[in-house]
Structure 1
Amino acid sequence: MDDGSYARAALEVQNVMGRYVANVSGPDFAERMLALFDLDDPEVTLTIAAGPTLTGSDALRGYWTNLEKVMRANGGTLGAHMLTSPVVVVAEDGESASGQWQDVGTTLFGPGMGTPSPAEGHVYSAVREVSRYSVDFRLREGSWKISSLRWEILWTYPGELVDEDVFWLGSKTREPSAPPA
């Protein structure tokens, strides 16, 4: 694999992860998330925080479909995460890659998660996290797909109340947009 092909593959892998963290809202949330995974691989896996490892396309479909319902009941969002410090290694044959990202993010807790109001007059609370993504990819029909994703929380900060007057994204009327495919 020449340097140009390697650099292009590494950038494409980073773009997959950029779409992964940016796809946190919208009516087709589950389908956009599923499109990032290698669902043709019966061993495709997803591990979120301390939860169980989900294996196979049916398990992933169930997870993302349920999370879309939670997101909708949660006022249209689940939180926001920002990837930093990418380390991507593309295999010499150019058919697989692995990557690791540090993540600084916030998870929103509210009605979609069945959490009670944390204080009088507040519906939502949030927890800031520092975490790490460890991800394996495969090249499938010219597109990089996630074959294994593990999100590990390294530490959390104390919970915070969310000011519903400005809401989660700074405006109750702002509709976040998905990144280009």
Structure 2
Amino acid sequence: MLKHYRSYKWRELEISDGRSPLDQNVYSEKITIAVIKHYYPFQFVEHEGIRDLHKCLNEEAIPISRNTIKAHVIRMYSRERDNLKCALGQVKSRICLVFDLWSSCTTDGCLALTTHYIDEEWVLQKQILNFCHIPPPHNDAILATGLMDLLREWGIEKKLFTLTMDNAAYNVP
């Protein structure tokens, strides 16, 4: 049955309804958002069925490779990170942080840094600033240095109001 679907050729459709031509940049952006939003692997864009669907919807669609989609994801991450840095720079209130460390089932240390603040419209905002692997040892001096580096990187070292951490032993000097 799969052979039938793979060999099936879509009829060519004439576009007579006055639609504008495909904007390849918008097309690439939409696929990038779908890959991020649904946790698709980068190779998703190279699946034959997906490429056939896109060609059927618009003959002008130029297929995207897994390397191209990876570059788009990295570019989108950088853009959104820069937008968040800018937004944090404009926050007039203080910022609260949650600093969380834990070990995975493979005993790899992970760090998550989340910010909470009230924006200009008095809406509570919550953003993950960092999520990364953190190798041992997890002592207070190393964690304090790492936290200060992250605060400087995000430009919020002078805006800190509270820092909430879990009750692990490494939090006590």
TM-score (norm 2): 0.26
Structure of greater relative contact order (alpha carbons < 8 Å, 6+ residues apart): 1
TM-score (norm 1): 0.25
The structure in which a higher percent of residues are strand is 1
Larger Rg: 2
